[in-house]
Structure 1
């Protein structure tokens, strides 16, 4: 563990990077939740069933899966800054396409927009988390959950925005067009500062800079002794080989299972919670959006307290407690006889869902030279969850109802708890923490 004295001395450039990166996380959350909180409106406007909506949502997961498989190699090859600038522009195109699709009531165009939106999500998720891990190493303490808390703050704002727009009967296309312009411009403004620590700058106040993953890949190559700046073809080959090797690491795969479970939990809430509230309890779209806001707000609270929780309990016990609380919340929501009690269940579900992703991603990034490829591997598991869950859950929702279907996520919580020992620190991270 870092000493208190070291924890209080954070270099100015690290503080600037941290603040900018917090902003990028918040914008990512806002854009996602503002759209997802209005899925009941999408279903109504397009006149589709729950099963059809689930199939449509799958296209976004397909895009994310296609992108996340190569995202680690992309970040290692081109760097976080270039990747995030590119994904910011793609986000603008994707969100505007979604707005145009709903304005014209075109399902094919919506499918295209969702696919591209999935691509930009994957190309955002990997670099922002590897940069968050760099900030965490620079500060010498567990702060990953605070970045995810800021994502949740953005998600709360996005859910509230969606609820307000639904209440005021603001057209969803208008909401999406404004979101594309605002979030896209803000992201492009923040990216240069947010990625400063992964461009060779110092990350911990010492004279040892962060290892560039491209250099690490070159050093692993038998011919790397010739030069530390190999030709582009060799750099590309080294990045691809490093990404392939990460898939054969048992620890990385187990961490991926934790991310899969966490993604099922968070993604199911985002996609189906508003519909479950509306169909299961007869609530209006605005009320359903507020329930989703409760979920994201409870996650935000726990993530804000994450550094203290993780430092006190350790990574493994944090996952065990989180899975248990999420299970209680899921069962309460799915089986409660009243809307009020179900709402309390949503609160507990959010508490339990808060820390699994940040803890797992921190574990995947324990060794900075391998962080991009390992983070891309574990986030691939999350994309698989997003790909498989919508169609399966859509069919189940048609059969047994959305509220009861959500209780099946308890199985994922059991998997997360079983895989929790894999998140124990390794390498230099093991010297900063006891568990």
Structure 2
């Protein structure tokens, strides 16, 4: 938990959180935009690439359930520093494993990369939710816009480096250095951390964490976020590869298509907070999922590159707001924010991280573009359960 902050502290914390989200997106896109390069370096299929993505998922799913307790004990600033350092070291490991053309080494490094990213994601979302709560207005989508903006920049850099013939290992080593510097310095401006309050009526921090897993509203929000994050995660991990395989695009063009997807997400996240304040979470969430479904269908069924690009843009716009709205909804009660954000993050990242690898296995059987159509099922589920995200004050 945090103490009540002054306005200058809030402004500084918001800026630092914005930067940390942006660096997180840069890291993710530096990997995602160049997945075709990984398959070329290691000479692997889409299914084998799915196994590597599953290593990232496994690492994150080890870290996510305990992330809320870690943040509650040491604060978001220390948690982000530790997570960023772990992710940076793992990124170096991935680069070295690719240089050695080692599939097992790459998988092991990606496991620890996933652990760092998982703790980092939960920590930054808890900090963002606390800043939003103290500001008294919707700002979480703008933090996620910073993530998408960082991812867009990372995708453009990836496309440019691919076009210039710069290898992925060298790319990852530079990104690792940037991560280490940013995550060690920016969190000093986070909101001041205070120790958790003494347990009430025998309640412990561990008991609070368990009770969050039994809270019906929290679990329903988690299911909504699961569907929404699968929509986003599949786009992040497979748009570039699907363009290369299904539309016979170059690696550079595939990275640019991924960049268009991320740019659409960035724009909607940056300006979407106002729409949420005016129309409410539930209405915006339903409209978002409808747009994501339409864009996904257009991307998969399009026979021309320009039409697939239009689909990717609509898909990205639809996927933009669901995750930040889920984080805000989970943190409506500040007393239980850390535990509930951790629960919703864990459920959501099961889809965000584990779903795309499964799509890779299915892609080996029917092709990656047709496999993406299976995402329509969780999108419909998110539409049906969107009411769970209604703010507690409106209950």
Normalised-by-shorter TM-score class = over 0.9
Q: Name 1:114's counterpart in structure 2.
A: 110
Equivalent of 2:239 in 273, 276, 294 = 273
Residues 58 and 386, structure 1, Cα contact 8 Å, conserved in 2: no
Matched, 1:370 2:350: no
Residue 98 (structure 2) pairs with residue 102 (structure 1): yes
Structure-2 separation of matches of 1:311 and 1:388: 32
Deviation at 1:391, TM superposition (A): 3.8
Provide the residue aligned with 1:174 in structure 2.
Answer: 170
Cα distance, 1:57 vs structure 2: 1.1
Runs of 4+ in 1 over 4 A off after TM superposition: none
Q: 1:347 is matched with which residue?
A: 313
Contact 1:53 1:394 in 2 (8 A): yes
User: Is the 1:143–1:306 Cα contact (8 Å) retained in structure 2?
Assistant: no
Task: Give unmatched runs, 5+ long, in structure 2.
Answer: 1-5
1: CA distance between counterparts of 2:48 and 2:30?
21
Shift of 1:312: 1.5
In the aligned structure 1, how far is the partner of 2:352 from the partner of 2:298? Answer: 24
Aligned residue pairs, count: 390
Q: Is 2:287 the partner of 1:287?
A: no
**1:271: Cα distance to partner?**
1.2
Deviation at residue 340 of structure 1 after TM alignment? 1.3
1:317-354 Cα distance to aligned partner (Å, 9 max, x none): 01100000000001101112322111101010001000
Equivalent position to 1:262, from 201, 225, 228: 228
Matches of 1:370 and 1:127, distance apart in 2: 14
Q: 1:379 aligns with which of 345, 348, 364?
A: 345
Instruction: Flag the 1:387–1:138 CA change in 2: closer, same or farther, 3 A.
Output: closer
Q: What residue number does 1:326 align with?
A: 292
Whether the 8 Å CA contact 1:77–1:239 is kept in 2: the answer is no
Give the SS at the match of 2:214: coil
Aligned to 2:388: 422
CA contact 1:262–1:357 (8 Å) conserved in 2? yes
Q: Could you tell me how far 1:219 is from its partner in structure 2?
A: 2.9
Offset, 1:355: 0.2
Cα shift at 1:69: 1.1
1:38-187 matches, within 5 Å, as: 38-187=34-183
CA distance in 2: counterparts of 1:147 and 1:393, whole angstroms: 28
Task: For residue 337 of structure 1, give the secondary structure of its aligned residue in structure 2.
Answer: coil
Cα RMSD, aligned residues only:
1.4
Aligned 8 A contact 1:37 1:159 in 2: yes
Report the alpha carbon displacement of residue 387 of structure 1 after superposing the two structures with TM: 4.8
Structure with max Cα Rg: 1
Distance 2:157 2:219 in 1: 37
Name 1:7's counterpart in structure 2. none
Q: Which residue of 1 aligns with 2:266?
A: 300
For residue 134 of structure 1, report the CA deviation from its aligned partner.
1.2
The match for 1:219 is: 199
Contact 2:230 2:356 in 1 (8 A): no
Q: Is the 8 A contact 1:55 1:390 kept in 2?
A: no
Question: Which deviates the most, 127-136 or 344-353?
Answer: 127-136
Distance 1:34 1:387, change over 3 A: closer
Q: CA deviation at 1:221?
A: 4.1
Partner-residue secondary structure (3-state), 1:305: helix
Cα distance between partner residues in 2 of 1:388 and 1:152: 20
What is the CA deviation profile of residues 349-377 of structure 1, one whole-angstrom value per residue up to 9, with x for unaligned ones?
00100000000100001111111110110
Contact 2:140-2:325 within 8 A present in 1 as well:
yes
Which position in structure 2 is the counterpart of 1:191? Answer: 187
The alpha-carbon deviation at position 409 of structure 1 amounts to 1.0
* Deviates further, 351-360 or 72-81: 72-81
Return the offset for 1:108: 1.2
Partner in structure 1 of residue 3 of structure 2: none
Where in structure 1 are there 5+ consecutive unaligned residues?
A: 1-9, 201-211, 225-237
Match of 1:338 among 304, 312, 315: 304
Asked whether the 8 Å contact 1:22–1:147 carries over to 2, the reply is: yes
